[in-house]
């Protein structure tokens, strides 16, 4: 009987499409040469999504998100902070192995829309702001999982593994953890 209910609910989703808004918390860092990772920076993301079911247990979800990312480097000379703002466009393939539980994976392309750097040496006379121009394009892979209720409320967590260098020197790549909530319209 339970298998019949899960199967019936899965059939109800076939050819269904929804739209919604989502937002959440980011914890970002940068990996240098794949050997070391910076201190984390906290931010948020917000945007819209559309989800189209392409089968009983599969959907495709394109998104457009504003995302605050970046990193900190702390050493004996002080703290260097770079804040990077992106317009990210992920395309997620979602699998629902159980009615309301999903796992997701897919590519993401991001466009750098602003950046700000600061150096805090602990002394007012030694504080400075130095500008580093990031590459305009970022891309990578997202992996995640979550829960989506029948009323269209989603809770999830996602990891972004950046594959493109932010700068040419030292080959830094974005690493971002996201926790989010979404609401279907």
Residue with tokens 């504080």: 127
Residue 47 CA to residue 88 CA, distance in Å, equals 9
List the pLDDT tens digit at each of the 185 positions of the chain: 444 444 444 456 667 899 999 999 999 999 987 677 888 999 999 999 999 999 989 999 999 999 999 999 888 878 888 899 999 999 999 999 998 999 999 999 999 999 888 888 765 544 455 556 788 899 999 999 999 999 999 999 999 999 999 887 778 899 999 999 999 99
pTM of the model: 0.84
- In the prediction, which pLDDT does 68 show? 97
Q: How far is CA 40 from the centre of its chain?
A: 14
- In the prediction, which pLDDT does 122 show? 66
Residue 55 CA to residue 5 CA, distance in Å, equals 16
- In the prediction, which pLDDT does 123 show? 59
Residue 12 makes CB contacts below 8 A (sequence gap 6+) with none
- In the prediction, which pLDDT does 83 show? 92
3-state secondary structure of 13: helix
Residue 41 near residue 70 (C-beta atoms within 8 A): yes
């Amino acid at each position: 009987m339970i298998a019949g209910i899960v199967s019936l609910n899965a059939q109800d989703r076939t050819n269904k499409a929804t739209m919604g808004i989502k937002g959440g918390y980011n914890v970002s860092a940068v990996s240098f040469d794949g050997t070391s990772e910076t201190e984390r920076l906290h931010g948020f993301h917000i945007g819209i999504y559309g989800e189209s079911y392409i089968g009983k247990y599969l959907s495709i979800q394109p998104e457009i998100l504003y995302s605050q990312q970046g990193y900190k480097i702390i050493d004996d000379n002080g703290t260097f902070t770079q804040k990077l703002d992106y317009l990210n466009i992920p395309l997620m393939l979602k699998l629902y192995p159980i009615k309301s539980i999903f796992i997701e994976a897919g590519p993401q392309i991001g466009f750098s829309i602003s950046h700000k750097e600061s150096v805090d040496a602990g002394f007012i006379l030694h504080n400075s702001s130095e500008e580093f121009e990031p590459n305009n394009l970022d891309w990578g892979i997202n992996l995640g999982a979550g829960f989506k209720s029948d009323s269209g409320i989603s809770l999830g967590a996602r990891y972004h593994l950046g594959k493109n260098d932010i700068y040419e020197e030292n080959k830094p790549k974005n690493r971002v953890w996201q926790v989010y909530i979404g609401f279907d319209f």
